């Protein structure tokens, strides 16, 4: 990674050496917030931001994200987690502490179209996307020059459906070797096997275009054009084994009109994809997302 | 119709006694604009606004909407149309002159949910929707009081799929009797027969909710909620025999998030439906829409 | 008030007979959330929604809004407040409990232009704005018929700067007599005296148009048009003694272009004013706003 | 300029070797469109897109932008302009033919903050901003490396108000030497003299942040934060001698809320500045803007 980006990352780590986020998801019942906030108070943690949501106050599901500062956090984090286990057991919580100074390691997968990869790299260079982009994996050589010029390793791994298993084996080795936290499919046009998806559950983010109505199948932009749609959209979601059907993280649209031909619509669609994916990835990096069933809570 | 609305309509007619719109659609070739603008100039018409669009400059389709003022228009309109026939023949034009002082006669169809009807009536009362709302037809009595309090006749015609033909026969009689120009389906939950659709081709405007992805079938809001969609949309279109598949006039969306339950999403969806339908109807009333194949050109 | 609106209000009260909101504002320090949530838990209250914000974690200001359900709330509310006093003293809190079943009594002030008043009445009729609109006060007779047809008392009180004190005396008497909670200036074109403003501190909501750049003085729309602005905006704020300078609640804009003349811009501006004011009023009615210094926290 | 960008520019020139735009502005009267379209037809030009606007049909101002294809345009352009002079005289037109294959030469001025420069370079690299970025001029060295890495000359010319005339002399020499068509002030924090402005009349585009209300003077973001504004905006305009007061090309806003501190607002403001400036520059490059008095017509 280029030195001016490395500097930004280091400054961020220093600023956040005592900051963590606690994410909880459990059956709703009275007393959860009291117990958790009492716990944090006793451990000298100061709550900076907290967001809570209950599906249905009576007998529903409870979600909370608390961001807090705690002196000497790096020394105390293990103790904190051990102590928390008791509360977690009482309320049957799914929970995790995320430490902000642990900047997440990210891998980007891309095929030929570079627009989404470019957006991520731009945001990253300008310091707006705080991650360690550890590698780019592609089944094409198209983006190598651009990626390597930023000091990021580029792995060219040809792929097609006949060699899917070998390809994924290589990819998973690389990802594990570099201890990757999150994978972004920035227009990676290969289907992933259930094994791959399971290995990185709730940690693979995808982007695809979306239309009203849906134009499933070939040439969606051509068909959207012929139908005269007025909106072009994009959806970013976590990958599950149902193709394009995982929990939605973010969506957006852009207006088009009769003057836009299929080619224009594609360009506009790519622009929406870029911004939707960038937002989804940022929220993931900031631990703002809780996956619950087939939906997301984005705090 | 209430007297203060009638006053607004009359004032509008007076202001526009010499104003017309010419809409043309023909194969593209050089010289069309020259011929049409020369024609209008020779007939003392002054162009106020013109919008033009060609699908593909070479051998494609040409569309134009010209709004113009012409002294003594009401006396001269027949002559104008007769004279224009020659140009129309030369260029193989689909064309029509629309006279702004001929305020369009509108019928609104509604079932139980009144939100779209309400929006139209509110816009109409405030003078923002220039039409003669001649009648409301409904298969429920729900909205009678509100409609009649504005001096608009309300026809209650029970409907279901078994008596579709008799029902439509009655409706068509009423519509013809009052010389209706445009029909707005403001959440009218009955399917129309091909005969009805053909009788009012390109003059029936519908509204329905739209999702990314589409949730076809029952309980769309419940399923959109369970999938965690972030956008709720609506689409207004001309009715054709393909259910919900006619040329799209307007679409829009509103953002939702995890805090919105299925009921909230429905309410938000209704709000989008209201504004999308109102815009589509206004554009139709202002003769801004040309239907071409299965799409619209909205000038 | 018309009976079908009364019915909606009654249903709302029944649904919310055990629901309250607690709003707190105090110097930030560790332990606040723990203390408050412990308190609510001990009083059998279940937190439904909570939003928290701290200006600056170290030595800054702390804000929280908690919505909760508590069985037999109406019998226990006094005890709850008495018990809470101890925590409030410990943390030097500004605080209040607001009971959702106490539907707020609202007075609307209007001059000649009815668009903002109309918007409020429409939202109110459709059940989207939960208030008891107890009266409309105007220095013109323009809107009497419309207001009275909804069963709302209309007080015509002529006003100008020479008789300001007598006028406000009459108004304050009326407002006190009906125990008014919130006053909405829906384009009321009279300046209020410091005495009036002080009497209803943080309970008077105003709306005005806003431009980029500002066009202070006469004919703002004409000047905005001549400058070719591309955006027309509106700002809703609490009234203080600095004219148009109180804490901002909500703002929004609408796009315009060269085809919009000064008259069109005015109409577009009125449309933005309507929606901005309606949102601001709703947030106030839902106790979502904390005023702090010259700004608002909107939860 | 890098070879892959040069390739895109060359492809664009080839595609548009026969395409031009005619921009006209004159007193309104009947017959203008007839005369112009007849002229183009006689010269074998085929109209691809035309947009027209009249301020006021009776005795007002007339504006039109016509995009057309004409075989062998590069050979015939001089003749075309000579022949058009007669029509132009008849209708007292301000007019110009712009040839699309003449890709405009652009200079970007920047001070320390690189965000607007970066945006332009990104759009340019991806082929979305069709210009020949011939140079960057800066009173700081900050952006040299980034600019030169794209093959664009970077001129460091220190500047302050005491040496304004010498500085501008050097700048103007450079600009003339390279035959610059348009100057973009991408956060260039120096005031230009009337002489400079006059030399490049209607060809200097500026960007600045905008607020509702305006916060004129020092620390606008800090003051906007303390006032609790809900919108942060940006305005792009042609530079005239009234500082920040020239004809507005484009404006936009972004929402902020109480959680955004002054630093966040600045960042959000920069993001709006980037997109507003990019749109304004594109419209200029596509000859979509006619300046009239102190406003713009953007077709």
Residue C261 scores a pLDDT above 70: yes
Q: What is the mean pLDDT of chain A?
A: 92
Query: Using a CB-CB distance cutoff of 8 angstroms, which residues of chain D are in contact with residue C257?
Result: 298
CB < 8 Å to D69, chain B: 57
CB contact under 8 A, A30 and C46: yes
How many whole angstroms separate alpha carbon D14 and alpha carbon D7?
11
Residues paired with residue B99 on neighbouring β-strands, in sequence order: B20
Stretch among B259-273, C237-251, D206-220, D277-291 having the lowest mean pLDDT = D206-220
Report the residue of chain D nearest B48, measured CA to CA: D57
How far does B181 lie from chain D, in Å, by closest CA? 29
Question: Which residues of A fall within a CB distance of 8 Å from B298?
Answer: 257-258
Number of alpha helices (DSSP H) and beta strands (DSSP E) in chain B: 9, 13
Distance to chain A for B146, nearest Cα, Å: 33
Longest dimension (CA), chain C: 63
**Position with higher pLDDT, B277 vs C4:** B277
Whose CA is closest to B156, among B174, B169, B144?
Answer: B144
In a domain, A5, yes or no: no
Asked if residue C76 and residue C194 are part of one domain, the reply reads no
Is the same domain home to D247 and D112? yes
Question: A228, A277, A294: which to substitute to probe chain B, counting the most B Cβ within 10 Å?
Answer: A228
Which residues touch B192 (CB under 8 Å, ≥6 apart)?
A: B168, B204, B239
Whether residues D53 and D178 fall in one domain: no
Q: What's the CA gap between B185 and D51, in Å, rounded?
A: 34
* B261 touching C (Cβ < 8 Å): no
What's the CATH number where D249 sits?
3.40.50.170
B110 and B90 part of one domain = no
Structure confidence by residue, pLDDT tens digits, D189-203: 999 999 999 999 999
Instruction: Choose the final residue of a domain: D83, D99, D115.
Output: D99
Neighbours of D131 (CB within 10 A): 21
Q: Are A19 and A73 in contact (CB under 8 A)?
A: yes
Residues near D228 by beta carbon (within 8 Å), at least 6 away in sequence: C247, C248, C294, C295, C296, D258
Of A228, A231, A295, the CB nearest to B226: A295
- Can you give the pLDDT at residue C58? 59
DSSP codes joined into one string, D248-276: EEEEEEEE--TT--HHHHHHHHHHHHHHH
pLDDT per position as a tens digit, B133-168? 999 999 999 999 889 988 999 999 999 999 999 999
Answer for the pair D108, D138: CB distance below 8 angstroms, yes or no: no
- D111 at the C interface (CB within 8 A)? no
Task: Check if B126 contacts C (Cβ < 8 Å).
Answer: yes
Whether A2 maps to a domain, the answer reads no
A297 CB neighbours in chain C (<8 A) are none
Q: Are the beta carbons of D41 and B30 separated by less than 8 Å?
A: yes
Tell me how many residue pairs between chain A and chain D have CB atoms under 8 A apart.
Answer: 8
Compute the nearest-CA separation of B294 from chain A (Å): 6
What average pLDDT does range A240-265 have in this prediction? 89
Q: What is the DSSP letter of B81?
A: H
Query: What beta strand segments (E) does chain B contain?
Result: 19-27, 46-54, 61-69, 94-99, 105-110, 132-138, 154-156, 182-185, 204-211, 231-238, 248-255, 289-292, 295-298
Q: Are C242 and C230 in contact (CB under 8 A)?
A: no
Answer with the one of C70, C99, C128 that is the final residue of a domain: C99
The count of domains in chain B is 2
Do residues B202 and B238 make contact, with C-beta atoms less than 8 angstroms apart?
yes
Residue B57 has pLDDT above 80, yes or no: no
Residue-level pLDDT at B212? 67
Which chain C residues are closer than 8 Å to D289 by Cβ? none
Interchain CB distance below 8 Å, A69 and C57: yes
Q: Is the pLDDT of residue A123 over 90?
A: no
Per CB-CB distance under 8 Å, the chain D contacts of C53 are 258-259
- A286 min Cα distance to partner chain B (Å): 18
Q: DSSP E strands: which ranges in chain A?
A: 19-27, 46-54, 61-69, 94-99, 105-110, 132-138, 154-156, 182-185, 204-210, 231-238, 248-255, 289-292, 295-298
Query: pLDDT digits over C185-238, tens only?
Result: 999 999 999 999 999 999 999 999 887 667 777 788 888 888 889 999 999 999
Helices (H) and strands (E) in chain A, counts: 9, 13
| Nearest chain A alpha carbon to D48 | A259
Residue B49, chain D, CB below 8 Å: the answer is: yes
What does the angle CA D232 – CA D238 – CA D240 come to, to the nearest 5 degrees? 110
Per the CB < 8 Å rule, is D33 touching B54? no
Owning domain of residue A219:
105-298
Residues C50 and C119 in one domain: no
- Contact by Cβ (8 Å): D277, D123: no
3-state helix, strand, coil in chain B (%, to 5): 40, 30, 35
Q: Which of A41, A50, A53 sits opposite C52 (nearest CB)?
A: A50
Q: How far is B266 from chain D (nearest CA, A)?
A: 25
Nearest Cβ partner of B34 from D30, D38, D69?
D38
Both tokens of D229, joined, read 């504004």
Task: Report the pLDDT value the prediction gives residue B242, as an integer from 0 to 100.
Answer: 81
C245 lies in some domain: yes
CB C43 within 8 A of CB C102: no
Out of D214, D257, D298, closest to residue C298 by CB: D257
The token pair that represents C153 in the structure block: 């008392």
Cis status of the peptide bond prior to A156, with omega within 30 of 0: no
Q: Are residues A114 and A226 in the same domain?
A: yes
Tokens of A118: 């470019």
Residues A162 and A289 both lie in one domain: yes
When scoring D126, D129, D278, D282 by the number of chain A Cβ atoms within 10 A, the one with the most, hence best to mutate, is D126
Percentage with pLDDT > 70 across chain A: 98
Give the residue from D227, D235, D263 with the most C CB atoms within 10 Å of its CB, the best one to mutate.
Answer: D227
User: Domain for residue B5, yes or no?
Assistant: no
Q: In terms of domains, do D64 and D118 share one?
A: no
Quick check: is C12 in a domain?
no
Contact D46 B30 (CB under 8 A): yes
pLDDT at C15: 94
Q: Look up C244 and say whether it is catalytic.
A: yes
CA separation for the pair D68, B31 (Å, rounded): 12
Catalytic residue among D128, D244, D252, D287: D244
Nearest to D37 among B34, B54, B58 (CB): B34
| Structure confidence at residue A57 (pLDDT) | 59
For residue D230, pLDDT over 70 is answered with: yes
Domain final position from D74, D99, D124: D99
Give residue C87's pLDDT band: very low, low, confident or very high (50, 70, 90): very high
| pLDDT of D105 | 98
pLDDT tens, position by position, A173-184: 999 999 999 999
Q: Which two tokens stand for residue A42?
A: 């006793």
Q: Does C15 touch chain A (CB under 8 A)?
A: no
Q: What CATH number is attached to the domain comprising C38?
A: 3.30.70.260
pLDDT at A244 over 80: no
B212/A233 touch (CB, cutoff 8 Å), yes or no: yes
Candidates B281, B283, B267, B5; CA nearest to B117 is B281
From A33, A46, A49, residue closest to C47, measured CB to CB: A33
B2 belongs to a structural domain? no
Residue to substitute from C16, C18, C31, C36, interface A, most A β-carbons within 10 A: C31
**Model ipTM?**
0.88
Hey, which residues 67-106 in chain D have their CB within 8 Å of chain B?
A: 69
Average pLDDT over residues A82-111: 97
- Contact list in B for residue A248 (CB cut-off 8 A) is 227-230
At B59, the pLDDT band (50, 70, 90 cuts) reads: low
Chain C interface includes D243 (CB < 8 A): no
Note whether A114 and A30 are same-domain residues: no
**In-domain check, residue C253:** yes
3-state helix, strand, coil in chain A (%, to 5): 40, 30, 35
The pLDDT of residue C49 is above 90:
no
Same domain, A120 and A264: yes
Query: Which strand (E) or helix (H) includes residue B143?
Result: none
The answer, yes or no, to whether residue A6 has pLDDT greater than 70, is: yes
> Are D241 and D149 part of one and the same domain?
yes
From the list D226, D229, D251, the residue facing C230 with the nearest CB is D251
Backbone phi, then psi, for B35, in 5-degree steps? -65, -45
Whole-number average pLDDT of chain D: 92
pLDDT of residue A198: 95
Tens of pLDDT, residues A11-22: 999 999 999 999
D69, D216: one domain: no
Candidate list C82, C244, C257, C264, residue with the active-site label: C244
Q: Hey, are the CB atoms on B122 and C122 less than 8 Å from each other?
A: yes
Within a domain: residue A112? yes
Nearest-CB residue to A122 (from D49, D122, D128): D122
How close A219 gets to chain C, by Cα (Å)? 33
Report CB contact under 8 Å: D49, B47. Answer: no
Is the Cβ pair B115, C122 closer than 8 Å? no
């Amino acid at each position: 990674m280029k030195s001016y980006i490395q500097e930004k990352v280091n400054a961020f780590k220093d600023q956040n050496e005592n900051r963590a986020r606690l994410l909880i998801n459990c059956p709703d019942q009275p007393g959860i917030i009291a117990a958790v906030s009492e716990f944090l108070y006793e451990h000298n943690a100061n709550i900076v931001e907290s967001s809570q949501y209950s599906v249905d106050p009576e007998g529903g599901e409870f979600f909370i994200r608390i961001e807090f500062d705690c002196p000497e956090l790096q020394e105390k984090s293990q103790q904190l987690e051990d102590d928390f286990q008791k509360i977690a057991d009482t309320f049957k919580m799914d929970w995790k502490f995320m430490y902000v100074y642990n900047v997440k390691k990210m891998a980007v997968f891309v095929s030929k179209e570079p627009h989404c990869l470019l957006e991520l790299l731009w945001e990253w260079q300008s310091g707006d996307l705080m991650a360690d982009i550890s590698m780019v994996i592609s089944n094409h050589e198209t983006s190598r020059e651009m990626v390597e010029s930023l000091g990021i390793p580029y792995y060219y791994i040809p792929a097609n459906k006949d060699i899917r298993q070998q390809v994924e084996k290589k990819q998973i080795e690389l990802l594990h070797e570099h201890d990757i936290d999150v994978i972004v499919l920035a227009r990676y046009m290969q289907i992933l096997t259930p094994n791959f998806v399971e290995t990185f559950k709730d940690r693979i983010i995808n982007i695809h275009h979306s239309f009203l109505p849906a134009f499933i199948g070939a040439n969606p932009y051509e068909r959207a054009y012929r139908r005269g749609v007025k909106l072009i959209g994009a959806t970013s979601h976590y990958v599950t084994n149902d193709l394009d059907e995982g929990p939605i993280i973010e969506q957006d649209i852009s207006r088009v009109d009769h003057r836009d031909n299929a080619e224009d619509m594609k360009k506009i669609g790519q622009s929406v994809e870029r911004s939707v994916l960038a937002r989804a990835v940022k929220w993931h990096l900031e631990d703002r997302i809780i996956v619950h069933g087939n939906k997301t809570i984005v705090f």
